[in-house]
A and B are shown apart, each in its own frame.
Chain A
């Protein structure tokens, strides 16, 4: 298996920057995904990292350090609509794109 750990809840202010951390076991690791999930809706893909470094996509960036088993999702210029659960998920070699998810970080954006 692959333990995925992330904080349960975070609160941030509209317009600010927030960083959501995720740690995972490195054995067999083959990619790290971030998904956003609004209440009652399907998870939607945000980012994918397989090599070390930062991937930027508009207001969202994701970072990976394979040696440390660590990733973070960075959200800039927070908007109220960014209030959602952010799911960190790891993929294992030979797992056929099967993902192991963390419990999700519930982000609340306040005025």
Chain B
């Protein structure tokens, strides 16, 4: 396994369009997280799955945002009716709740630019 994979790496979209991003976690990891990062800031938590269950959503996640992890493997993050303020790096991370270090491993991110 080569780590957490995200697709696409870059996305430019016009305001008002819908976009969808995909994340493939490390295969044995049952926890998956989405974060958003803007320039000069640390990542901000958006949402978190354990297997297929979405256990927590940040207040940052407006109604235009939805995330799924239908089979407990890959996840998608959709943003509807994009706004310029949605421009950011969207990071996916995964971790395991097994014994051992609890660190999350991050993907390379999807950089979204809304024009």
A contact set with B: CB distance below 8 Å: 4, 31, 33, 35, 41-45, 48, 87, 89, 91, 95-104
Interface residue B33 (Cβ < 8 Å from any Cβ of A):
yes
CA distance A64 to B55 in the complex (A): 29
Contact pick for B42, options A45, A91, A98, A101, CB 8 Å? A101
CA distance A45 to B101 in the complex (A): 11
A89 (CB) vs chain B CBs: closest residue: B42
Segment of B13-21, B64-72, B103-111 in the binding face: B103-111
CB distance from B31 to the nearest CB of A (A): 6
Contact pick for A48, options B43, B56, B103, CB 8 Å? B103
B106 touching A96, Cβ below 8 Å: no
CA distance A95 to B97 in the complex (A): 12
- Chain A proximity mask over B88-115: 1 for CB below 8 Å, otherwise 0: 0001000101000111111111000000
- Chain A proximity mask over B5-35: 1 for CB below 8 Å, otherwise 0: 0000000000000000000000000010101
Residues of B within 8 A of A89 (CB): 42
A99 touching B45, Cβ below 8 Å: yes
B106 touching A101, Cβ below 8 Å: no
| Interface hub of B45, B55, B104, B105 (most chain A Cβ within 10 A) | B104
What are 14 of the A-B contact pairs (CB < 8 Å)? Answer: A4-B42, A42-B4, A42-B106, A42-B107, A48-B103, A95-B56, A96-B97, A97-B102, A98-B33, A99-B43, A100-B45, A101-B35, A102-B42, A104-B41
Count of chain B residues with a beta carbon within 8 Å of a chain A beta carbon: 26
B101 touching A48, Cβ below 8 Å: yes
- Supposing A31-B102, A33-B103, A43-B106 touch, asked if A96 and B48 sit within 8 A by C-beta, the answer is yes
B contact set with A: CB distance below 8 Å: 4, 31, 33, 35, 40-45, 48, 50, 55-56, 91, 95, 97, 101-109
Instruction: Name A's interface SS.
Output: strand
A105 (CB) vs chain B CBs: closest residue: B42
